[in-house]
Amino acid sequence: MVRGLLHVYLGAAPGVGKTFTMLEEGRRLRDQGLDVVVGIVETHGREGTAKLVEGLEVFPRRRVDHRSVALDEFDAEGLITRAPQWALVDELAHTNAPGSLNPKRWLDVGMLLDAGINVMSTVNIQHIDSLHDVVETITGIAQKETIPDSILRAADQIELVDLAPEALRARLSGGFVYPAGTIDAALSNYFRLGNLTALRELALLWLADEVDVALKAYRSEHGIGQKWEARERVVVALPGGPEGETLVRRGARIAARSSGGELLAVHVSGADGLAAADPGSLAAQRTLVEQLGGEYHHVVGDDTPTALVDFARGANATQLVIGVSRRSRLTALLTGAGIGATVIRESGDIDVHIVTHAAAGSLALPRLGGALTIRRQLMGGALALLGLPLLTLGLSAIRSDETITSDVLLYQLLIVIVALVGGLRPAVPTAVLAGLLLDFFFVAPLYTVTINDPRHLLALVIFLVVAVLVSVVVDSSARRSRAARRSASEAETLATVAGSVLRGQDALQALIDRLREVFSLDSVLLESDGEVLYEAASSGVPVQPQRKQTQRKAVAEPLTTTTVFDLSESARLVLTGRVLQASDRRILAAFLSQIESALVQRRLTAEAENIKPLEQADRMRTALLAAVGHDLRTPLSSATAAVSSLRSQEVQWSDADRDDLLRTAEESLLTLADLVSNLLDVSRLQAGVLAVANSEVGLDEIVPLALDELHVVAGAVVVNVSPHLPPVICDPALLQRVLVNLLSNALRYAPSGQAPILSGSAFADTVELRVIDQGPGIPDDRLTDAFQPFQRLGDTDNTTGVGLGLALSRGFVEAMGGTLEAEVTPGGGLTMVVSLRPGRHAPVHTLEVAAS
């Protein structure tokens, strides 16, 4: 039997229109005469979706009993018996009720496909298994229902149903996605603009990667080996001069011409005589690259063109942008092909763009190289092999007794030139050969090598001495130049590291990343007490080293070497990659010193964080003394005065006066008891010894008790808490106190005629209670201050307490495992949001966020 086709509609979030689009396609296929059946579609009360279902054949659902609750589920077996051509099955990641044929709906869909039935389904990006942790990081909500990536990637067609975040929020506000009671909670939580934007980007990127996978599979199946430039990846080579800005902007324009193009900028430096870079220019260019959405890289290479091309290939670049040489034409002619020509020759199928700039072709002197390389020595040898025969042939043509002096000087000049170009190795043989040629062709008897005159031997010795002296000077100059350029490269590297830290990067992570990048290592690990604190690795290289060794001892392996440095008693640095040379040790020591300093700073920061609670406790004690000295004195003084007056024998009190005094004493003592109780609770919270007895409690049990305690008249508080909300995990007594505190504040500040609102809603894995008032509110920058103990935020009414209500309320809610946040009420006022965990037996469909 031919397996059925799977067509999946993918969305970034609930409400983008996946089910709506699926139903529209189903109606289109039905109108074409195909047999289309709705297996299961969740309308979630949306009128537009329900209207599209009308006119389509809807297959009956199967009733499943779970814990005395009847649930309707998809009947996969019945639909297989019905055998339509197309089945519409909503919410592919849905979890079936216990007792169903399969635990997951995507398994039901697999049965339909195996039976040869084509299936359309829907899924949100948050339900893809590989993105589960990413979505949780973005939204703060862990998704319980996921679908394996392999199931989704096996679909014959995946279609993205996209909607701009602003449009989705507008749909939500208009009541087209969720019921009115859950709109505020949804807009303030999962459907924040930033969350929706990130989820939309995640969906687009996932689908783009899926397209890449499909494209690679197609090329593999059809044996297509050449590069298909479906996505541009542009690498810009920064030479370290002012022309870098021009190159970066040109590279950004090239990347922008293709959808999804990436921009990478790289600066190559090293110890082999590269031109010194301007740190200020590089810093400005790095900032520009990051502003344009690109990435900046700094690598070290002995050969600039090779390092540049290697980096481009490692980054899978399609375009390489370099600047035209700043050397003059004369310099280029004398010194040979430059970096540009070598890059073009080695780039292979990478397109190379050579960009002109203002500094091109300037008349600056060519910069000297570093140490004498093999190439220079070979050039010196070639010059000797070519120059000696030509010079000998030319002088032989004009030979005479009077020209011997000039002949000697010309041979000596050639020796000096060879020494300058190639150093000692080609210069010494050249001096010996020059002496022999001079004796053979120009000193009598001719055409024999005979030294009869001591002066001839002296001339040969002088030739050798001159060659050696010039070569020593050249070698010394080259070594000093190399050392100077090495220092410049090291300074540039350290400046890059410092810049990374100053731009806000984590100091240790920046040091680890730059260390791996500078020495071209496979991986760098920073461990402490056996735990990996920071790590950096090149693409495709495992981070964990294959072998660990003792401090400063590296054993070479065929491909990589692991070196371990002990930084302290518990911390160590593990380097895996090439063998580090002795010349690398100085800058490596600087890195180690900086890493040790950063570790010390990290430890001191941790200790400072540990001290903060003590500092807060000290501030608490100070505030407590102030509160005791003032706020407790007022009710105590009132109670004392009332009791003293009642005991006085000098005044005859009437029954009414006596009742007033007793009432004053009672109210003062009650106020005093409340203040003392609050102070004790604050102390328990600070000490972490508050007794909390959490249990599953229905909100319909706690809300009436809180209203009764407030003694409010009917209509004073608008209650919009559905009895169908799931139970919450809380301490009933503490939650009641929280609601009393929040509602009393709302009643106090609510304008006349505008009663505060107490509403409840369930969203994802959270049940929220909102206390809303339209009073003066609190400025945005002072919302967090409202929860600090002994804060009244300008309230000078000393009869209402010591400013502990909100602090206690937040402490109580957090002790129960929830959160208490303050928001600005639209139109003015303050909204206090209590978020609690639902009970374990909460209905799944009530909390589910899978609607389309």
Q: Which pLDDT tens digit goes with each residue over 288-306?
A: 888 888 888 888 777 788 8
Determine the pLDDT at residue 365: 33
Number of neighbours of residue 685 by Cβ within 10 angstroms = 19
pLDDT of residue 336: 47
Q: DSSP strand E in 718-801: where?
A: 718-720, 728-730, 757-763, 766-772
| Exposure on the CB side of residue 658, measured as CA atoms within 13 A | 8
**426, burial (CB in 10 Å: exposed 0-12, middle 13-18, buried 19+):** buried
| pLDDT at residue 557 is higher than 90 | no
pLDDT at 549: 39
Which among 356, 369, 298, 288 is positioned nearest to 326, based on CA atoms? 356
* Lowest-pLDDT range of 199-213, 357-371, 629-643, 747-761: 357-371
pLDDT band (50, 70, 90) for residue 284: confident
Q: How many angstroms separate the Cα of 264 from the Cα of each of 6, 286, 310, 500?
A: 38, 10, 14, 16
Collect all residues with Cβ–Cβ distance below 8 Å to 625 and sequence separation of at least 6: none
Query: 161 with 9: CB under 8 angstroms?
Result: yes
Comparing 403-407, 798-802, 843-847, which segment has the lowest mean pLDDT?
843-847
Structure-block tokens of residue 35: 């047999």
**pLDDT at position 120:** 95
Share of the chain above pLDDT 70, in %: 75
The three state secondary structure string of 672-712 is HHHHHHHHHHHHHHHHCCCCCCCEEECHHHHHHHHHHHHCC
What per-residue confidence (pLDDT) applies to 110? Answer: 93
Cβ 113 vs Cβ 4: under 8 Å = yes
Highest mean pLDDT among 29-43, 311-325, 581-595: 29-43
pLDDT band at 540 (very low <50, low <70, confident <90, very high): very low
Residue 713 neighbours by CB distance under 10 Å: 7
Q: Please provide the average confidence, as pLDDT, over all residues in the chain.
A: 77
Higher pLDDT, 252 or 679: 252
Q: SS3 for 267?
A: strand
Q: Is the pLDDT of residue 845 over 50?
A: no
Which of 330 and 730 is assigned the larger pLDDT?
730
For the segment 29-51, the average pLDDT, to the nearest whole number, is: 89
For residue 409, with 0-12 CB atoms within 10 Å meaning exposed, 13-18 middle and 19 or more buried, which class applies? exposed
Query: Do 326 and 360 form a contact (C-beta atoms < 8 A)?
Result: yes
SS3 165: helix
Would you call 417 helix, strand, or coil by DSSP?
helix
DSSP code string of 23-82: HHHHHHHHHTT--EEEEE---TT-HHHHHHHTTSEEPPPEEEEETTEEEEE--HHHHHHH
Lowest mean pLDDT among 22-31, 458-467, 708-717: 458-467
Residue 233, beta-bridge partner list: 262
Helix (H) or strand (E) holding 501: helix 454-502
Could you tell me the CA-to-CA distances from 459 to 124, 190, 373, 436, 839 in Å, in that order? 91, 92, 30, 11, 104
Distance CA 598, CA 592 (A): 10
pLDDT average, residue stretch 457-472: 75
Residue 305's CB: how many other CB atoms inside 10 A?
Answer: 22
Average pLDDT over residues 609-632: 63
Who has greater pLDDT, 458 or 738? 738
790 has a pLDDT exceeding 60: no
* Exposure b/e, 493-529, CB count within 10 A at least 16 = b: bbbbbbbbbeeeeebbbbbbbbbbbbbebbbbbbbbe
b/e map 324-356, b = 16+ CB within 10 Å: ebbbbeebbeeeeebbbebbbebbeebebeebe
- Distance (Å, rounded) from C-alpha 805 to C-alpha 786? 10
Domains of the chain: 6-221 (3.40.50.300), 233-355 (3.40.50.620), 374-478 (no CATH), 631-687 (1.10.287), 695-847 (3.30.565.10)
pLDDT in tens, 334-363: 444 567 778 888 888 888 888 876 655 443
Note the pLDDT tens digit of each residue in 814-840: 888 899 988 888 778 888 999 998 886
End-to-end CA distance of the chain: 33
The pTM for the full model equals 0.39
Residue 26 pLDDT more than 80? yes
Once rounded to an integer, what is the mean pLDDT over residues 504-528? 78
Q: What percent of the chain has pLDDT over 90?
A: 13
The CA distance from 87 to 80, in Å, is 10
How confident is the model at residue 811, as a pLDDT?
Answer: 80
User: Can you tell me the distance from the alpha carbon of 53 to that of 126, in angstroms, rounded to the nearest whole number?
Assistant: 26
Summarised one tens digit per residue, pLDDT across range 103-131 is 899 999 999 999 999 999 999 998 888 88
pLDDT (average), residues 523-529: 85
Nearest alpha-carbon partner for 275 in 248, 319, 237: 237
Check residue 525 and report its DSSP letter: E
Over 50: is that where the pLDDT of 259 sits?
yes
How far, in Å, CA of 757 to CA of 719, rounded? 6
Cis peptide before 14 (omega within 30 of 0): no
Higher pLDDT, 152 or 45: 152
pLDDT band of residue 364 (cuts 50, 70, 90) is very low
